[in-house]
Amino acid sequence: MSATPSDTTPDDVRDKIAALVERARAAQRVAETYDQQRIDDVVAAVAWAIYEPARARKLAELAVRDTGLGRVSDKITKNQRKTLGTLRDLTGAPSVGVIAEDPESGITEYAKPVGVVAAICPSTNPSATPANKTLMAVKGRNAIVLSPSPKGASTCRLLLDYIHAELDKVGAPRDLVQMLDEPSKPLANELMRQADLVVVTGSQRNVRQAYSSGTPAIGVGAGNAPVIVDSDADLPDAASKIRRSKIFDYATSCSSENSVHIHDDVYDQMLAELRANGGYLLDADEKARLRSVMWSGGALSGEVIAQPPEKIAALAGLDSPEARAAEFFMVIEDGVGPDYPFSGEKLSVVLSVYRFADLGAAIDRIQELLDFQGAGHSCGIHTRSYKHARMVAERLRVARVLVNQAHCFGNGGSFDNGLGFTLTMGAGTWAGNSISENLSYRHFLNVTRLARVIPVSEPTEEQLWGRYFEKYGR
**Residue 18 is part of a domain; what is its CATH number?**
3.40.605.10
Shared domain check, 250 and 169: no
Domain-located, residue 21: yes
Indicate if the pLDDT at residue 347 is higher than 80: yes
Give 3-state DSSP helix, strand, coil % of the chain, rounded to 5. Answer: 45, 15, 35
Domain-located, residue 3: no
* 191: confidence class by pLDDT, cuts 50, 70, 90: very high
pLDDT at 42: 98
Indicate if the pLDDT at residue 464 is higher than 50: yes
Q: What is the pLDDT of residues 206-217, one digit of tens each?
A: 888 888 899 999
Shared domain check, 288 and 309: yes
How crowded is residue 456: how many other Cβ atoms within 10 Å of its Cβ? 5
Domain-located, residue 460: no
The set of residues, in sequence order, having a beta carbon less than 8 Å from that of 455 and lying 6+ positions away, is: none
The set of residues, in sequence order, having a beta carbon less than 8 Å from that of 208 and lying 6+ positions away, is: 219, 432
Beta bridge partners, 113, equal 445
Q: Which helix (H) or strand (E) holds 112?
A: strand 107-113
Report residue 174: phi and psi, to 5°.
-60, -30
Q: Is 254 marked active-site?
A: yes
pLDDT at 330: 98
The set of residues, in sequence order, having a beta carbon less than 8 Å from that of 350 and lying 6+ positions away, is: 251, 290, 294, 304, 312, 328, 329, 330, 331, 342
Shared domain check, 265 and 168: no
**pTM exceeds 0.75:** yes
Q: Which of 156, 254, 379, 408 is catalytic?
A: 254
Q: In this structure, what DSSP letter does residue 414 have?
A: -
Measured distance between the N- and C-terminal CA atoms of the chain, rounded to whole angstroms? 50
- Residue 107 half-sphere exposure, CB side, CA atoms within 13 Å? 7
CA-to-CA distance for 421 and 440, rounded, in angstroms? 8
Indicate if the pLDDT at residue 1 is higher than 90: no
Tell me the pLDDT of the chain averaged across its residues.
96
CA-based nearest residue to 281, from 269, 272, 292, 289: 272
Q: Which amino acid is at 185?
A: K
Average pLDDT over residues 143-160: 97
Domain-located, residue 467: no
Shared domain check, 413 and 328: yes
CA-to-CA distance for 325 and 278, rounded, in angstroms? 8
Shared domain check, 248 and 133: no
pLDDT at 164: 98
The set of residues, in sequence order, having a beta carbon less than 8 Å from that of 415 and lying 6+ positions away, is: 85
Shared domain check, 169 and 245: no
Domain-located, residue 425: no
**SS3 at position 302:** coil
Shared domain check, 377 and 340: yes
Domain-located, residue 430: no
CA-to-CA distance for 57 and 73, rounded, in angstroms? 8
Q: Exposure pattern of 99-124 as b/e (b: 16+ CB <10 Å)?
A: beeeeeeeebbbbebbbbbbbbbbbb
Shared domain check, 327 and 445: no
Q: What is the pLDDT of residues 20-44, one digit of tens each?
A: 999 999 999 999 999 999 999 999 9
Whether the CB-CB separation of 86 and 424 falls below 8 Å is answered with no
Shared domain check, 194 and 68: yes
Shared domain check, 153 and 124: yes
Domain-located, residue 2: no
pLDDT at 131: 98
Average pLDDT over residues 302-310: 96
Shared domain check, 253 and 196: no
CATH number, domain containing residue 381 = 3.40.309.10
- What's the number of domains the chain is made of? 2
Residue 134 region by backbone torsions, left for phi larger than 0, else alpha for psi between -120 and 50, else beta? alpha
* 7: confidence class by pLDDT, cuts 50, 70, 90: low
Q: What is the pLDDT of residues 255-267, one digit of tens each?
A: 999 999 999 999 9
Length of the chain: 474
Indicate if the pLDDT at residue 177 is higher than 60: yes
pLDDT at 6: 54
Domain limits at 147? 11-219+440-450
pLDDT at 25: 98
Shared domain check, 144 and 92: yes
Domain-located, residue 284: yes
pLDDT at 207: 86
Q: What is the pLDDT of residues 195-238, one digit of tens each?
A: 999 999 877 888 888 888 999 999 988 999 999 999 999 999 99
